[in-house]
Structure 1
Amino acid sequence: MTARLSKRGRLLAVGDIHGCLEQLRSLMARVAPTPNDQVVFLGDYVDRGPDSRGVLDFLCDFARRFPRSVFLKGNHEAMFLDFLHGRDRLSFLANGGQATLESYGGAEIPDDHLRFLDNLQLYHETPAFIFVHAGMRPGLPPSQQSEEDLLWIRNEFLNSGYSWGKTLVFGHTPQKNGPLLLKERMGLDTGAVYGRTLTCCDVETGRCWSVPAAEPKRKRFLLF
């Protein structure tokens, strides 16, 4: 990929966060976004990790400071909303939702978090890129994709060589060897919550920033 000549700012994408607040803070400090940049968050902000509430606090504040930002819905946000609205409680709890509830410490979900969740986008498209959480069903344009596929699809998308004529940037499926950076596909879930890294990519240049998981604190033993 060639370096961008325009001064309009970077087009950045961030992979799945899953409650990893400290990694998110460190990553954004390294990337140092400016008001001219546009940051697209690919979804899965909650569940499994240690501080889903803190991540949503951070993202709500980030949206206020950087209004050009785009926040996509992940399947875990969909399950969280189903839980909150009483449609399906089991799926959320069976997929890491208990960690999300514990991060709120028994308190009610703040109104700004609810508004944030209710206003997440299913996809974002630019002249050269399509951003989605999970992927897309081959043969269909973004506007004809089902919400289920945009949030959950895996093998039908991953095993297909179909081209949408743009680079498709996605998360959802953890990449074991760092970000996947191909001409027509970029996979940016690098397994932060599984002890690997959280990644941000300047999709127009291919430059990536990755923050490793914090090492678990070792217990100290006093010798008498």
Structure 2
Amino acid sequence: MITSRTLVIGDIHAGLKALEQVMHKAGVSQSDRLIFLGDYVDGWSTAVETVDFLIELEQTHNCLFLRGNHDELCSNWLLTGEDNPMWLQHGGVSSVRSYKKADTSTIEKHIRFYNALINYHKDSDNRLYLHAGFTNVKGVEHEYFPKTFYWDRTLWELALSLNPSLQEDHEHFPKRLLHYNEIFIGHTPVTRIGKITPQKAANVWNMDTGAAFLGPLSIMDVHSKEIWQSDPVHTFYPGEKGRN
């Protein structure tokens, strides 16, 4: 009997070779639901190939693609051609080099992919998926600034700062965390706190295991919490710096 799983995938940052490896390790099949948390580009040299892979994957698998801040930055550059020095310093250079080799039809196809990305998703079990976070105490439906969904770091900082003994029924438990059974994010690498596996704080799971730097790429089964990881992504791209 084939059992359907919901698999959540952390920030890829153009690490296609690592994505292929970790999907193989997880035994990904067409019966699985795949939820990608964003940041598909800006890191390693295979940005175009990574997005091509995801577009093709969507034709055969049940995929949901969330918007990351790097995806918006790259899309803006493709649309306007305007240089963004901050973006270039944080992985944009590798994407520019990759897209310089792409033809017009590929770029147009990728722009459609970026435009179709969604800011957040809530499933039937009241799990929330988004790239970064939100700030409104009433939940994502009441967020004033949509860019918060893929730029915010305060949600993860808040979850990390909580005393583990503080229970959800405590009057001081953060109200914005109470709306969802679990929250899955990326955006802020857990390597910043000395970890290389997905980390949970309060009811927030951080899936960014540092694929853009020296860490692996991770997949988690949201029900069983089983985790699969690639080799450190930089080992697939010798001689490259990624975002290091």
> For this pair of structures, how many residues does the alignment match?
212
Does structure 2 conserve the Cα–Cα contact (< 8 Å) formed by 1:49 and 1:193? yes
Q: Report whether the alignment pairs 1:77 with 2:71.
A: yes
Does structure 1 conserve the Cα–Cα contact (< 8 Å) formed by 2:133 and 2:154? no
Gaps of 5+ in 1: 1-5, 219-224
Does structure 2 conserve the Cα–Cα contact (< 8 Å) formed by 1:197 and 1:211? yes
Match of 2:181 in 1: 166
Residue among 142, 166, 171 paired with 2:140: 142
Matches within 5 A, 1:10-89: 10-66=5-61, 68-86=62-80, 89=83
1:182 Cα deviation after fit = 4.9
- Letter of the aligned partner of 2:199 in structure 1? L
Match of 1:118 in 2: 115
- Letter of the aligned partner of 1:63 in structure 2? E
Q: CA RMSD in A?
A: 2.2
Q: Report SS of the residue matched to 2:114.
A: helix
Q: Deviations over 1:47-97 (max 9, x none)?
A: 12121111101101111111x210001000111122122285314323321
TM-score by length of 1: 0.86
Residue among 179, 190, 198 paired with 1:175: 190
Whole-Å separation in 2 of the counterparts to 1:144 and 1:157 = 19
* Cα pair distance change 1:87/1:105, threshold 3 Å: closer
Match of 1:222 in 2: none
* Cα pair distance change 1:157/1:211, threshold 3 Å: closer
Match of 2:168 in 1: none
* Cα pair distance change 1:165/1:155, threshold 3 Å: closer
Whole-Å separation in 2 of the counterparts to 1:86 and 1:197 = 32
Whole-Å separation in 1 of the counterparts to 2:154 and 2:119 = 19
* Cα pair distance change 1:94/1:123, threshold 3 Å: same
1:37 Cα deviation after fit = 1.2
TM-score by length of 2: 0.79
- Letter of the aligned partner of 2:14 in structure 1? G
Whole-Å separation in 2 of the counterparts to 1:154 and 1:83 = 24
Match of 2:225 in 1: 206
Greater displacement, 128-137 / 155-164 = 155-164
Residue among 213, 216, 233 paired with 1:194: 213
Greater displacement, 209-218 / 37-46 = 209-218
Q: Report SS of the residue matched to 1:159.
A: helix
Whole-Å separation in 1 of the counterparts to 2:131 and 2:41 = 14
Q: Report SS of the residue matched to 1:169.
A: strand
Does structure 1 conserve the Cα–Cα contact (< 8 Å) formed by 2:14 and 2:45? yes
Whole-Å separation in 1 of the counterparts to 2:220 and 2:6 = 8
Whole-Å separation in 2 of the counterparts to 1:131 and 1:142 = 11
